[in-house]
Amino acid sequence: MIYQIQQEKIISSMINRINQELNLDNIDQSILILDFSKVNFMDSEGISWIVDILNTLDKKGIGLKIINVKKEVYKIFEITMLDTIIDIKLGISL
């Protein structure tokens, strides 16, 4: 399943809306691909949200991949070392 995040910022005030749209309980695929092509910024709540998604999917045996990440956002994944446990791709890629 590929889900494109429509928000430019992943911040605490946006996470509930994204969760409602994403609805992790109904994912029945072997991998969830998050398309970050519109995301320009992510705060610490956004990082926590990604970790929560990773943990939820892991319990279900579902993988997580993040694609189309902009360099500015990718740096956040590098600093937090999430790039070492999640398949994260810069630019346009699957």
pLDDT tens figures, 43-77: 999 999 999 999 999 999 999 999 999 999 999 99
Which CATH number does the domain 2-90 belong to among 3.40.50.300, 3.30.750.24, 3.30.565.10, 3.40.190.10? 3.30.750.24
pLDDT given at position 57: 95
Closest CA to 36 of 76, 7, 1: 7
* Contact indicator for 8, 40 with CB cutoff of 8 Å: yes
The reported pTM is 0.91
- What rounded mean pLDDT belongs to the chain? 93
Question: Does the pLDDT value for residue 92 go beyond 70?
Answer: no
Confidence (pLDDT) at 85: 96
| Number of Cβ atoms within 10 Å of the Cβ of 36 | 21
